[in-house]
Amino acid sequence: MRNIFVVLIACILFFACDDGDVITVDLNFDQALELCDNNTDSFTIYDLRSDPSESLALILDRSADDIAPFINPTPENTTTEIPLGGTNRFLYRTYNRDISGSGNSNELCNVVTPADLIIQENYEALGGTAFVTSTIVDDDNDGIPSENEDRGEADANGNFPNAIDTDDDGVPNYLDQDDDNDNVMTINELDDENLDENGNASFLDTDNDGEFNHLDTDDDGDMILTIEEDANGDKNPRNDFFIDSNGIDTFRYLTDEANESFESPGIVLTNMFTRVVTSTILIRNFNLEIISGDEIDFGTLENTILFQQEFEEED
C-alpha cells in the first residue's frame, strides 16, 4: 500500500497560485540522482529534467573530513533522517535552457554559473525531512559480498564488532583487500568462471586442505608460504611463474612442484578499494512555498568511493 501511495504522490500535478497566475509543477523526475562533490562546504544531490528545464536538488552540509554524503550502510530497518532547513536545503528550480553535463561536470556543479544560464524560478523547502536508506553489497569490492565474509551481526550503530580478521592485521575481512596477507588480492583468489546461484564467484581451495585460497597462507600446500614464492620480491606472487611437469606455465604459488622458497618481501602496505554505495532518498512533509506534500520519492544515488589505508612497515 505504501508503494502505491508514493507513486500517486510522485505522479500528481501540483497547482498553485502566484500573483494570480496558475503554475503547474510536476515532480515526477526520473529519480536517477547525481552528485556534485566538488564544493568543500556542501554536497549537492540533484535530478534534472528538460523541456522544460528544471532541477530538484538536495544540498547537504559537509565537514572537512567528509569524502561522500553517505559511506556506510544504514542499520537494518532504519533510515538516516536529515532535517531540512538551514544548511540542509531542498530546492526546486527552473531555467531558461537545458543544463548540460553529468556528475561534477554538470553545469549545476560549477562554482561560477555560466552567464547564459538563468534561474527563472527558485523555491526552497521551508521544512521537511530527508529519509536516506543506504545499502552496500560488497564493502571492499573484493568479489565477496560482505554478508559472506563472517562479519557477524551489526550493532545498533550499524558496526560489526565481531567481524572476523583472518590475518590479524586490524582490518576485518569484509574491509580487507587481502584477507590472508599473502600479497595475492582476495579478488584474484576466487573462481569467477564458475558462479554460484547468486551470480557470485566461487571459492577456490587449490590444495584441498579445507581452507579457501583467499584465507590460506599456503595456497598449494607445498609447505612454502605463498608470500615466500615471490621470486622477484616485488610483493606480487602473480607475476612469478613455473612450468610444471605437464608443460603448463602456472603461478609458482599454485603448484606444489615449485618448491623453492624465497625471502619474504613483506606485505603490501596499502589497503585500497572502491565501494559502491546505493542510497534511496525520500522527502517527507516538505513545503516548497508553491508546492507542499506528504512524501516524494526523490530517487536513488549510486556513488563510488575510493578508500585507502596505509600500514606501517614491520621491523
Give CA–CA dist 103/280, Å, rounded.
Answer: 17
Q: Which residue has the cell 565477496?
A: 144
What pLDDT shows up at residue 22? 40
- Estimate to the nearest angstrom the gap between the alpha carbon of 178 and the chain centroid: 19
Asked if 90 and 58 touch (Cβ cutoff 8 Å), the reply is: yes
Could you tell me the three cell numbers for 307?
A: 578508500
Please name which of 134, 135, 144, 170 lies closest in space to residue 273, comparing C-alpha atoms.
144
What are the phi and psi torsion angles at 276 (to 5°)?
-100, 120
Q: Would you say 82 and 41 are in contact if contact means Cβ atoms under 8 Å apart? A: no
Cα separation, 147 vs 137, whole angstroms: 8
| Nearest residue to 46 via CA among 276, 275, 281, 288 | 281
Tell me 314's DSSP state: P
Tell me if the pTM is above 0.95. Answer: no
Q: How far is CA 281 from CA 34, 253, 303, in A?
A: 12, 47, 13
DSSP 196-215: -TTSPEEE--TT-SSS-GGG
Task: Round to whole Å and give the CA distance between 120 and 65.
Answer: 35
Q: What is the DSSP string of 143-173?
A: SS-GGGS------TTS--TT---TT-SSS-G
Q: Which of 303, 247, 295, 256 is nearest to 275 (CA)?
A: 303
User: Which residues, 6 or more positions from 122, have their beta carbon under 8 angstroms from its beta carbon?
Assistant: 91, 92, 93
Look up cell 534561474; give the residue.
119
- Please give the radius of gyration of the chain, using alpha carbons only, rounded to the nearest integer: 26
Here the cell at position 46 is 540533484
In the chain the beta strands, taken as DSSP E runs, fall at: 13-18, 21-26, 32-36, 42-49, 54-61, 80-83, 89-95, 119-124, 129-135, 190-195, 201-203, 241-243, 249-251, 270-287, 292-310
pLDDT, tens digit only, all 315 positions of the chain: 334 333 333 333 443 444 444 445 677 799 999 999 999 999 999 999 988 899 999 999 999 999 999 999 998 888 999 999 999 999 999 999 999 888 888 999 998 888 999 999 999 999 999 999 999 999 999 999 999 999 999 888 888 999 999 999 999 999 999 999 999 999 999 998 888 888 889 999 999 999 999 999 999 999 999 999 999 999 999 999 999 999 999 999 999 999 999 999 999 999 999 999 999 999 999 988 877 788 999 999 999 999 999 998 776
Q: In angstroms, rounded to a whole number, what is the distance separating the alpha carbons of residues 50 and 48?
A: 7
